[in-house]
Chain A
Amino acid sequence: MVKKRSIWPYLLVAPAVLVILCVVFVPVINAILMSFQSYDLRRPKDIGFTGLANYIEALGDAKFQSAFFKTIIWVVAGVGFQFLFGFMLALLLNKSFKGRGVVRAVSMIPWVTPGVLIGLMWSWIYDGNRGVLNDILMKLHLINDKIPFLAQDGTAFPGVIVTIIWQGIPFFALMLLAALQGVSTDMYEAADIDGAVGWQKLFYITIPSIKNTIFVTALLRVIWVANSVDVIFNMTEGRFGTLTMSVYVYQKGNALDLGYASAMAIIMALCLLVVAIPYLRSNFREEG
């Protein structure tokens, strides 16, 4: 069945490759070229080659530097808690109880909800006047005055991070649950005989058995969360200390300063590439 030297596989792959070439690789090259130019559509006369000027400007831009560190917090806190809660949910769903199928299906709904809607739903919960979170906290006597969660510096960033955590729990739970179901029960039985307690089984059997899935899922999430624009953009538009790199690039792009935006996007892509290299390497090894 495995034939060599046939034209067929190339013909079959061609349409997909063609689309990717047009929609990804051409734009990437385009972006690289634009990043070396002063390319501001509001000032079309000034468009021209400026060398590394955009990159130098970006590295010296205080807003960009702060966005870089914000992105690290955003990704580490976001993906970290997504993993923690997702893993907890997966462990719970791996036990047998009545209605497990329904609970599993329902718990996935955040994953199928549009990012815009997620942003808007949570903005309404956080609302400073009629928001339900303020109401609950006041009824519990935890606060005395209403807090405009998304409209002040200290609370806006944690607010959007909670939202991205909420969005990402289902995907983690889904992947980890499937991995858990593949762990053989023999090992747990052997551990029971040896008198292992719950946390020992968790750290010495469960986690080592599913570490590949944890790694791949976390990496996918890191890339998605770092790239995510819609949640933050629809909650705070990047104000009140919530400006991450992708949101900043999006803002500059919307403002038609395409050269500068491209340079920042390329710096960001390079940062992500550094994170993704181990993943790509493991994929190559497995194939080879």
Chain B
Amino acid sequence: MKKQTGIKRIFTLYLPLIIIMLFILFPFYWTFVTSVKPEEELYGAVVTYWPSHITFEAYRKLFTTTVDFLTAMKNSLIVAVSTTIVSLTVSTLAAYAFSRYRFAGRKFLMCVFLCNNMFPTVLLLIPLYSIMRSLGLLYSHTSLVLSYTTFTIPFSVWLLLGFLNDLPMSLEEAALIDGCNRGNAFIKIILPILGPCLVATGVYIFMQSWNEYTFAMMFTNAETRTIPVALKNLIGQLGVQWDLLTAGGIITIIPVCIMFFFAQKRLVEGLTAGAVKG
């Protein structure tokens, strides 16, 4: 490849990159700045692009006043962790079956998994609401865990299938010849190698359940509501409190961002394996 000259590189690489990244990052910058602005500056006549002094008052209010953000965080954590455990277990088993066995109905079942995401969420929301109500599960964490598990299964199976298909069968064959049964071979050989990929898939499931709003809005009440619902509820109590809202927003994305940065390399590999090879 020819070496590009400096000026050409600025126009074909740095300048467009800076413009796109500005567009992507500005809303986050603005959210953060709003959350640390003193109240009088936030509601003053002039829009300032950096606060005159930084205050964490909004963050303090978020946890100490009536908003009860801490309970919402606890609920979100319970729901996201439970969903991750359930969905990851179920998806790993299914992906293993699809990857290592050829059985009648395999094609059909894989199609069922794929179709799962085609249904409009709103179509499921309404009957699920009445089903959950009649089962007495409405306003419980279980209703959300069940729903999120279902919605994360297709993508998780797809991710794990990509990872598993990359692992050579000879690994387990060697173990089987040595007298291991299939279950043992799975636990002793496959799981340790698959570890990082499981973490990546787990992060994906956690992110989805941590962020979901539409179902959480209908399936929770004041005691069981999750962060996205609590955020939305900051509107309307006393008008829109942008300082509280933005502070809550920053707190919401920090955990998922940290997890994403650790898992992103594997996650990207897995996400793309299916599409690129398929």
Whole-angstrom distance between the alpha carbons of A175 and B100 in the complex? 26
Are A20 and B113 in contact, with the CB atoms below 8 A? yes
Given contacts A130-B43, A175-B271, A213-B275, contact A16 B16 (CB under 8 A): no
Q: Does A142 contact B (CB under 8 A)?
A: no
Q: Does A179 contact B (CB under 8 A)?
A: yes
A226 CB to closest chain B CB (Å) equals: 7
Comparing A28-36, A53-61, A62-70, A150-158, the segment that makes contact with chain B is A28-36
Instruction: Determine the interface band of chain B, counting residues with CB < 8 A from chain A.
Output: 35 or more
Whole-angstrom distance between the alpha carbons of A150 and B169 in the complex? 56
A contacts, CB < 8 Å to B = 1-6, 8-10, 12-13, 15-17, 19-20, 22-24, 26-28, 30-31, 34, 85, 88-89, 92, 95, 97, 103, 105-110, 112-118, 120-122, 124-125, 130, 132, 135, 166, 169-170, 174-175, 178-179, 182, 185, 188-189, 192, 212-213, 216-217, 220, 223, 226-227, 229-230, 234, 246, 249-250, 253-254, 258, 261-262, 265-266, 268-269, 272-273, 276, 280, 283-284, 286-288
B268 CB to closest chain A CB (Å) equals: 6
Complex interface residues of chain B between 7 and 45 (CB less than 8 A to chain A):
13-14, 16-17, 20-21, 23-25, 27-28, 30-31, 34, 42-43
The 3 closest A-B pairs by CB, nearest first: A178-B272, A30-B127, A114-B211
B216 CB to closest chain A CB (Å) equals: 9
Are A125 and B27 in contact, with the CB atoms below 8 A? yes
Whole-angstrom distance between the alpha carbons of A115 and B210 in the complex? 11
Whole-angstrom distance between the alpha carbons of A12 and B106 in the complex? 12
Are B13 and A95 in contact, with the CB atoms below 8 A? yes
Chain B positions within 8 Å of A118 at CB level: 27
Are A8 and B97 in contact, with the CB atoms below 8 A? yes
Comparing B57-65, B66-74, B192-200, B250-258, the segment that makes contact with chain A is B250-258
B260 contact from A108, A226, A276, Cβ within 8 A: A108
Q: Does B149 contact A (CB under 8 A)?
A: yes
Chain B positions within 8 Å of A179 at CB level: 272, 275-276
Chain A positions within 8 Å of B257 at CB level: 109, 112
Q: Quick one: CB contact mask for B127-157 with A, threshold 8 Å, 1 for yes? A: 1111100000000000000110110010001
Are B124 and A31 in contact, with the CB atoms below 8 A? yes
- Would you give 14 A-B contacts (Cβ < 8 Å), ordered by A? A4-B102, A12-B97, A23-B146, A27-B127, A97-B13, A106-B21, A132-B30, A166-B24, A174-B268, A178-B271, A188-B1, A250-B214, A261-B122, A262-B123
Chain A positions within 8 Å of B276 at CB level: 175, 178-179, 182, 212-213
B193 CB to closest chain A CB (Å) equals: 16
Whole-angstrom distance between the alpha carbons of A169 and B22 in the complex? 13
Given contacts A6-B101, A17-B109, contact A116 B122 (CB under 8 A): no
Given contacts A13-B93, A19-B149, A130-B47, contact A284 B101 (CB under 8 A): no
In this complex, which of A9, A130, A250 has the most chain B Cβ atoms within 10 angstroms of its Cβ? A9
A187 CB to closest chain B CB (Å) equals: 12
B126 contact from A16, A34, A106, A185, Cβ within 8 A: A34
Q: Does B228 contact A (CB under 8 A)?
A: yes
Are A9 and B97 in contact, with the CB atoms below 8 A? yes
Chain B positions within 8 Å of A116 at CB level: 213, 228, 231-232
B contacts, CB < 8 Å to A = 1-2, 13-14, 16-17, 20-21, 23-25, 27-28, 30-31, 34, 42-43, 47, 89-91, 93-94, 96-98, 100-103, 106-107, 109-131, 146-147, 149-150, 153, 157, 169, 172-173, 182, 207, 210-214, 218, 227-228, 231-232, 235, 242, 245-246, 249, 252-253, 256-257, 260-261, 264, 268-269, 271-272, 275-276, 278
- Using CB atoms, name the residue of chain A closest to B114: A283
Are B130 and A120 in contact, with the CB atoms below 8 A? no
Are B213 and A30 in contact, with the CB atoms below 8 A? no
Given contacts A27-B127, A174-B272, contact A115 B213 (CB under 8 A): yes
A31 CB to closest chain B CB (Å) equals: 5
Chain A positions within 8 Å of B146 at CB level: 19, 22-23
In this complex, which of B123, B131, B173 has the most chain A Cβ atoms within 10 angstroms of its Cβ? B123
- Using CB atoms, name the residue of chain B closest to A275: B118
Given contacts A116-B231, A229-B122, A249-B120, contact A19 B90 (CB under 8 A): yes
A4 CB to closest chain B CB (Å) equals: 7
Are B27 and A253 in contact, with the CB atoms below 8 A? no
Are A117 and B120 in contact, with the CB atoms below 8 A? no
B231 contact from A117, A132, A175, Cβ within 8 A: A117
A10 CB to closest chain B CB (Å) equals: 7
Are B210 and A114 in contact, with the CB atoms below 8 A? yes
Chain B positions within 8 Å of A105 at CB level: 260-261, 264
Are A24 and B252 in contact, with the CB atoms below 8 A? no
A275 CB to closest chain B CB (Å) equals: 9
Chain A positions within 8 Å of B107 at CB level: 284, 287-288
Chain A positions within 8 Å of B31 at CB level: 121, 124
B46 CB to closest chain A CB (Å) equals: 9
Chain B positions within 8 Å of A249 at CB level: 120, 122-123
Are A280 and B114 in contact, with the CB atoms below 8 A? yes
Are A3 and B101 in contact, with the CB atoms below 8 A? yes
B271 CB to closest chain A CB (Å) equals: 6
Are B43 and A265 in contact, with the CB atoms below 8 A? no
